[in-house]
Amino acid sequence: MNTPQTETIGSVTRKSRQPVIEINNLRKGFGSQEVLKDVSLKLMEGENLVVLGKSGSGKSVLIKLIAGLLQPEEGTINVLGEDVCLLNSNGLGELRKKIGFLFQSGALYDSMTVRQNLEFPLRRIKKGISQEEIEHKTAEALENVGLSEAIDKMPSQLSGGMRKRISLARTIVVDPAILLYDEPTTGLDPVTSDEISALINEVQKRYKTSSIIITHDIACVRATADRIIMLLDGAVYMEGSLDKFEKSTDPLIISFFK
């Protein structure tokens, strides 16, 4: 009889880990422009997968395809056991409740306090949730991003780094299974960027999420990546551990990691 192997990926130690996202032979273009020609990848449970690629290589398009915001021309996208391309709008809506997005802008609702910014998605996604539970989850999410004291502030009263933290709190407050980060540290100073990278790891541990992180920030890659995928010319150019990328002698990889 085979003994199940135990392995640790990110924060999750399991006898056998499952893919939470599985993409096969994805093709997507706009008009005559081919952006993704043939992309296949997996995101494993509990893993932080970093996607690298030159500007315009289709990283954001990839995230939008995963979320069902764009339709591919060819290929399959399976997220948490659902074939995204076959879901109707209700099915997509349900699936998106399990996916958290942290976009570059991290847009908060400027006319709402931090508390209201967190309570809004909770009420929308967790139908029937009690007021007590809302308050508990809001306080917990703010504590986890180290900003409990900001609960009654307006977004305009916060620094860029604080806004990013609150955006992350708003994303995690609804317990997503998957987090999609699009350039989470862009526009932040190096110290604040490092804090956000550390927070990405904290969130992974506490909330047991699986994440795709798109970033050009190599410090963020070094801090967060369990595995890396480099896109080039619409396909996966290289895939592997941080160590593999750091030791690569390929000029393109070196140009990213120098």
Q: Measure the CA–CA gap between 45 and 242, rounded to whole angstroms.
A: 18
Q: How do strand 99-102 and strand 82-83 relate by DSSP bridges?
A: unpaired
Shortest CB 102 distance to ligand ATP, Å: 14
In eight-state DSSP terms, residue 153 is -
Task: For residue 83, give every residue at least 6 positions away whose Cβ sits within 8 Å of its Cβ, in sequence order, or none.
Answer: 76, 77
Instruction: Report if residue 52 touches ligand ATP, rule: CB under 6 A.
Output: no
Instruction: Report if residue 53 touches ligand ATP, rule: CB under 6 A.
Output: yes
Shortest CB 237 distance to ligand ATP, Å: 13
Instruction: Please report where in the chains the tokens 């508390």 appear, as a residue.
Output: 115
Instruction: Report if residue 55 touches ligand ATP, rule: CB under 6 A.
Output: yes
Span 90-119, contacts to ligand ATP by CB under 6 A: none
Structure token pair of residue 31: 């008009």
Interacting stretch for ligand ATP, rule CB under 6 A, among 49-57, 131-139, 192-200, 222-230? 49-57
Shortest CB 125 distance to ligand ATP, Å: 26
Q: Measure the CA–CA gap between 62 and 72, rounded to whole angstroms.
A: 10
Shortest CB 87 distance to ligand ATP, Å: 20
Please give the size of the binding site for ligand ATP, defined by CB under 6 A. 10
Structure token pair of residue 213: 């992180």
Span 14-33, contacts to ligand ATP by CB under 6 A: 30
Instruction: Report if residue 56 touches ligand ATP, rule: CB under 6 A.
Output: yes
Distance from the Cα of residue 196 to its chain's centroid: 13
Residue 250, amino acid: D
Instruction: Report if residue 234 touches ligand ATP, rule: CB under 6 A.
Output: no
Could you list the residues that contact ligand ATP (CB under 6 A)? Answer: 30, 35, 53, 55-61
